[in-house]
């Protein structure tokens, strides 16, 4: 059993040790080890069903782990649930707002639940709505707001009590691009203003590029972690996408020098780290043999594809998840 460690919270906002959740036969989260330093913007990335939400629910004390422990803001999630909940803010995948009440009534409700006085709530609500450009919506019923505005209000709801740590579960899911960008600006502003630790989950990997550090989770396990740029640079300088009907020959030819490709139906993607001259030469030699060659910069999506793609090939039974430490 882990002890509470308030001093810990100065350095580590979240620390988990072998955190596991099993639902019947399904292993939702598998011996997850996580260390998130205080003040960090951390992204937990992975496809739907990989265990991100379950992890978040365990860390926010709403789901009891099957085994393993975690300390959040210096408190054990198993024994000090109330203390943990007082130190965190959670924005769930689905809205937690009451659509029949106004924006102000929702924020007041959330603030009072956190034990704040009316005047403090009023001050912070108006501060947050200013920050998010929603001041005119103060008295409007939440049900009448657009999806993007509702999400922004839900985020305001999650931080009205100024938590040390903010958990954001897919904050931009279901929103269109302009609104997604807006939500990111709000989160940036919040972080700049409060310096709070943010733990984000998303499956839009390109959105996690601003994180200090990300961890890729797959089938409940962390398969790779690190700073986004370091991970991207580690992949190579370029990604070469080759399109054509009969790629088998080319794939076998390039596999040796360039490493395992990501194969889709009529497309093969390779990593490339050579010089611009070498790249041009390769492009020239490939062009006549295929229908298309595309060269682009790698991104976090590629990191994930190669991690999970090659992981499936090279993983041995019983191998333990990679520890997500600095």
Partner 1 sequence: MNYRPVIAVVQREVLKLFRQRSRLLSAMIRPLIWLLVIGAGFDAMLGRTGADSYKYFLVPGVIGMAMLFGAMLAALSTVYDKESGVMRMLVIAPFEHYWIVIAKVLGAAIAGIIQAVLLLVLLAILGYLGIEIRWGVLLLALVMTALACASLGILTAAWTPTLDNYAVIMNLVIFPVFFLSGSLYPVAQLPDVLRTIATVNPYTYAVDLLKHANLSMTGPGFTPDFSVTTDVAVLGAFVLVATVVACLRFSQESRYSVLIHVLARKGGD
Residues of this chain that interact with partner 1 (CB under 8 A) are: 48-54, 57, 60, 62-64, 81-83, 85-86, 88, 90, 92-101, 105, 108-110, 112-117, 157
CA distance 200 to 60: 13
| Rounded least distance, CB 136 to partner 1, Å | 22
State the number of CA atoms in the 13 A half-sphere of 194 facing the CB.
Answer: 25
CA distance 226 to 314: 20
Do the Cβ atoms of 70 and 59 come closer than 8 Å? Answer: yes
In the complex with partner 1, the residue whose CB is nearer, 166 or 247, is 166
Q: How far is CA 26 from CA 21, 51, 311, 317, in A?
A: 9, 11, 20, 17
Do the Cβ atoms of 63 and 21 come closer than 8 Å? Answer: yes
| Rounded least distance, CB 1 to partner 1, Å | 18
In the complex with partner 1, the residue whose CB is nearer, 157 or 182, is 157
In the complex with partner 1, the residue whose CB is nearer, 62 or 175, is 62
- In the three-class reduction of DSSP (H, G, I as helix; E, B as strand; rest coil), residue 126 is classed as helix
| Rounded least distance, CB 107 to partner 1, Å | 11
- Which value, in Å, is the radius of gyration of the alpha carbons in the chain? 23
| Rounded least distance, CB 46 to partner 1, Å | 9
**What proportions of the chain, in percent to the nearest 5, are helix, strand and coil?**
40, 25, 30
| Rounded least distance, CB 109 to partner 1, Å | 5
Do the Cβ atoms of 88 and 14 come closer than 8 Å? Answer: no
| Rounded least distance, CB 102 to partner 1, Å | 10
CA distance 36 to 26: 26
In the complex with partner 1, the residue whose CB is nearer, 113 or 263, is 113
In the complex with partner 1, the residue whose CB is nearer, 83 or 271, is 83
In the complex with partner 1, the residue whose CB is nearer, 28 or 235, is 28
């Amino acid at each position: 059993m882990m002890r509470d460690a308030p001093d810990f919270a100065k350095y580590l906002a979240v620390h988990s040790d072998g955190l596991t959740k099993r639902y019947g036969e399904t292993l939702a989260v598998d011996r997850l080890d996580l260390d998130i330093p205080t003040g960090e913007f951390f992204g937990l990335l992975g496809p739907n069903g990989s265990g991100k939400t379950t992890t978040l629910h365990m860390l926010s004390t709403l789901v009891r782990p099957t085994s393993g422990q975690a300390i959040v803001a210096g408190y054990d999630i198993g024994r000090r649930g109330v203390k943990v909940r007082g130190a965190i803010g959670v924005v769930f995948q689905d809205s937690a707002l009451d659509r029949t009440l106004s924006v102000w009534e929702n924020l007041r409700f959330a603030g009072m639940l956190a034990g704040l006085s009316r005047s403090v709530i009023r001050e912070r609500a108006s501060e947050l709505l200013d920050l998010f450009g929603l001041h005119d919506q103060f008295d409007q019923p939440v049900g009448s707001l657009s999806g993007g505005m509702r999400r922004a209000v839900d985020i305001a709801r999650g931080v009205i009590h100024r938590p040390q740590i903010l958990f954001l579960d897919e904050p931009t899911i279901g929103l269109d691009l302009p609104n997604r960008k807006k939500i990111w600006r709000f989160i940036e502003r919040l972080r700049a203003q409060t310096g709070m630790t943010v733990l984000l989950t998303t499956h839009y990997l390109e959105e996690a590029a601003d994180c200090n550090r990300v961890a890729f989770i797959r089938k409940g396990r962390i398969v790779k972690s690190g700073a986004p740029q370091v991970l991207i640079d580690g992949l190579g300088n370029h990604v070469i996408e080759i399109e054509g009907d009969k790629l088998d020959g080319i794939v076998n030819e390039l596999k040796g020098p360039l490493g395992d490709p990501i194969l889709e139906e009529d497309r093969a993607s390779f990593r490339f780290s050579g010089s611009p001259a070498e790249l041009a030469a390769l492009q020239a030699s490939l062009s006549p043999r295929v229908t298309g060659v595309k060269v682009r910069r790698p991104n976090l999506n590629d990191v994930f594809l190669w991690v999970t793609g090659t992981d499936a090939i090279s993983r041995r039974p019983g191998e333990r998840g990679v520890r997500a430490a600095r």
